[in-house]
Amino acid sequence: MSQKQTDASGRQTQNQRSIIRRSLRFSVMDGASYSAMLGLTQNYITPYALALKASTLQVGLITSIPSFVAALVQLAGPGLVERAGTRKQIILPAAIVHALVWLPLFLLPYFFRSSGVWLLLGFYTIAMAADIMAWAPWGSLIADLVHEDIRGRYLGYRGRIGGIMTLVFTIAAGAILQVYNGHVFTGFAILFGGATAARLLSFYFLTRYYEPPFTPERADAPGVLQLIRDLGGSNLGRYTLYISLVLFGMMLSGPFFSVFMLRDLHFSYVTFMIVTAASAIANFIALPFWGRRADRAGNLKIVKITSWLMPLVPLLWVVNSSPYYLVFANAFSGFVWSGFNLSAMNFVYDASAPAGRAKRIAVYNAATFIAMCVGALLGGYIAPHLPRLVGYQMHTLFLISGVARLAVIAIMLRTLVEVRHVTNIDAMRLMFGRSPSDKNETEKPGGSVK
């Protein structure tokens, strides 16, 4: 692996260490540029669809169909890497397509108003498929570049920088839409043009990554389909099923918070942006907190802690609809999801041997995206038929989402096993207790890597 690369005498050379450090700096800059693109797009696809007069079901389709296609594309990634022999040959073309596909979106309201929602679905599907195509190769590459002992802190730092950029550009996007409120499609055109520029800058930094030699799997290693069939038979497989079902419960309501704010509560774009930005701010603040604790106690420990907090996220939205209160609710969401997302993916890195890592990341991502697709489709279908709770049908959907998450967590979470040798420390001490040198802490061996 990259950080362990050595010279003929078994020592890591100064040149290799320098190359790796430079690559990790470029990775931070790539993450910052990519996050700027996310800030301009990820929270504004649904508002754009609503501006094009999309229905609740169509919003569900725009969220779910790209996830399903991305899952299928994800499964092809490892095979392409094996044939190419290099991960960057997959990552770089995918990044270019992802950058350029944002450009046609601003034409929809001017030339394709009647079919704009369906064309948005098509272009967004291409964008997401191209993006996701690079995830497994990129994950395999970054896991080789960052040693597991510092992975939580490094990716937490990288995520924090990305969080700042996401926040800044989320706020900028909301301000642009408010300025162009009378000509909102002009505002969206600026957003999509900026997203293209930011992703092209990300592409440039990706070209500067150093790629350690790729280690192919043995010819008799299990293929993607075999890994899918054996999901229930390994710790990583059970973990993949668990995360997938949690994300299914999340996506029952996830795509519809924007619909709730803009359509039901009639928030302005500025108010929508402020509530949305609260999550990004909390994410930015919390990532180093979670990263240090993940390195100390293991990624699974953080997944477990944040999992038990997760059912509260949609339930908080049922209590009160004041913008001030929803800022708090969305900040809590950002705090919880920052730890969950950071550690959920890092556990996959920990539990995958380098030779088969891209393949296992692909199966994990495919399973989670299919679950998200089904969740969004089901949420979009049932939302218009639900009874009102405290005045809104969406409140009922949020309640269902919270209960679904809780059921999965209660049934499945205890079946998962940590794979690293980590500090054995209870959750309360980890979150609020003394320093890592606490003499009462002990080393806890992990399970085998599968």
**SS (HEC) of 257-307:** HHHHHHHHCCCCHHHHHHHHHHHHHHHHHHHHHHHHHHHHHCHHHHHHHHH
With 70 as the cut, is the pLDDT of residue 442 above it?
no
Whether residue 293 lies inside any domain: the answer is yes
- In this predicted structure, what is the pLDDT of residue 133? 82
Mean pLDDT to the nearest integer, 198-202:
95
Check: CB of residue 417 under 8 Å from CB of residue 446: yes
Q: Please, which residues have CB within 8 angstroms of residue 448's CB and are 6 or more apart in sequence?
A: 235, 419
Whether residue 205 lies inside any domain: the answer is yes
Q: How many angstroms separate the CA atoms of 161 and 66, rounded?
A: 27
- In this predicted structure, what is the pLDDT of residue 273? 83
Mean pLDDT to the nearest integer, 195-201:
94
Higher per-residue pLDDT: 450 or 338 = 338
Whether residue 9 lies inside any domain: the answer is no
Mean pLDDT to the nearest integer, 112-127:
84
Report H helices in 311-382.
312-319, 323-351, 357-382
Whether residue 272 lies inside any domain: the answer is yes
- In this predicted structure, what is the pLDDT of residue 9? 43
- In this predicted structure, what is the pLDDT of residue 198? 95
Phi, psi torsion values for 423, nearest 5 degrees: -70, 130
Q: How many angstroms separate the CA atoms of 333 and 375, rounded?
A: 19
Structure tokens at 194: 């900026």
pLDDT-above-90 percentage for the chain: 27
Q: How many angstroms separate the CA atoms of 212 and 86, rounded?
A: 9
With 50 as the cut, is the pLDDT of residue 367 above it?
yes
- In this predicted structure, what is the pLDDT of residue 221? 58
CATH of the domain at 423: 1.20.1250.20
Give SS3 for 389: strand
pLDDT level of residue 437 (50, 70, 90 thresholds): very low
Q: How many angstroms separate the CA atoms of 446 and 420, rounded?
A: 4
Whether residue 6 lies inside any domain: the answer is no
Whether residue 2 lies inside any domain: the answer is no
Range of the structural domain that residue 402 is part of: 16-213+222-444
Phi, psi torsion values for 51, nearest 5 degrees: -65, -30
- In this predicted structure, what is the pLDDT of residue 222? 56
Name, of 63-72, 111-120, 188-197, 423-432, the range with top average pLDDT. 188-197
Name, of 144-148, 232-236, 330-334, 420-424, the range with top average pLDDT. 330-334
Whether residue 4 lies inside any domain: the answer is no
- In this predicted structure, what is the pLDDT of residue 327? 94
Whether residue 144 lies inside any domain: the answer is yes
Higher per-residue pLDDT: 238 or 143 = 238
With 90 as the cut, is the pLDDT of residue 143 above it?
no
pLDDT level of residue 370 (50, 70, 90 thresholds): confident
Mean pLDDT to the nearest integer, 71-99:
79
With 70 as the cut, is the pLDDT of residue 449 above it?
no
Check: CB of residue 6 under 8 Å from CB of residue 13: yes
Q: Please, which residues have CB within 8 angstroms of residue 225's CB and are 6 or more apart in sequence?
A: none
Mean pLDDT to the nearest integer, 72-96:
78
Structure tokens at 124: 């967004």
With 60 as the cut, is the pLDDT of residue 450 above it?
no
- In this predicted structure, what is the pLDDT of residue 81? 66
- In this predicted structure, what is the pLDDT of residue 2? 40
Domain count, the chain: 1
- In this predicted structure, what is the pLDDT of residue 391? 86
With 80 as the cut, is the pLDDT of residue 61 above it?
yes
Give the burial string for 297-312 (b: 16+ CB within 10 Å, else e): bbbbbbbbbbbebbbe
pLDDT level of residue 436 (50, 70, 90 thresholds): very low
Structure tokens at 411: 């049934």
Q: How many angstroms separate the CA atoms of 184 and 270, rounded?
A: 13
- In this predicted structure, what is the pLDDT of residue 77? 65
**Pairing state of beta strands 422-424 and 442-444?**
antiparallel
Each residue's pLDDT tens digit, 297-349: 888 889 999 999 999 999 999 999 999 999 999 999 999 998 998 888 888 87
Mean pLDDT to the nearest integer, 281-290:
85
Each residue's pLDDT tens digit, 397-415: 999 999 999 999 999 988 8
Average pLDDT, the chain: 82
With 60 as the cut, is the pLDDT of residue 443 above it?
no
| CB half-sphere exposure, 188, CA atoms < 13 A | 26
Taking residue 270's Cβ as centre, other Cβ atoms within 10 Å add up to: 15
Q: How many angstroms separate the CA atoms of 390 and 297, rounded?
A: 41
Q: Identify the CA nearest to 51 among candidates 167, 168, 189.
A: 189
Mean pLDDT to the nearest integer, 150-163:
79
With 50 as the cut, is the pLDDT of residue 3 above it?
no
The interaxial angle of helices 323-351 and 269-297, nearest 10 deg, is 40
With 80 as the cut, is the pLDDT of residue 244 above it?
yes
Mean pLDDT to the nearest integer, 18-46:
88
**This prediction's pTM:** 0.70
- In this predicted structure, what is the pLDDT of residue 13? 66
- In this predicted structure, what is the pLDDT of residue 310? 92
Least confident of 166-170, 383-387, 430-434: 430-434
With 90 as the cut, is the pLDDT of residue 357 above it?
no
Give the burial string for 22-47 (b: 16+ CB within 10 Å, else e): ebbebbbbbbbbbbbbbbbbbbbbbb
Q: How many angstroms separate the CA atoms of 155 and 344, rounded?
A: 12
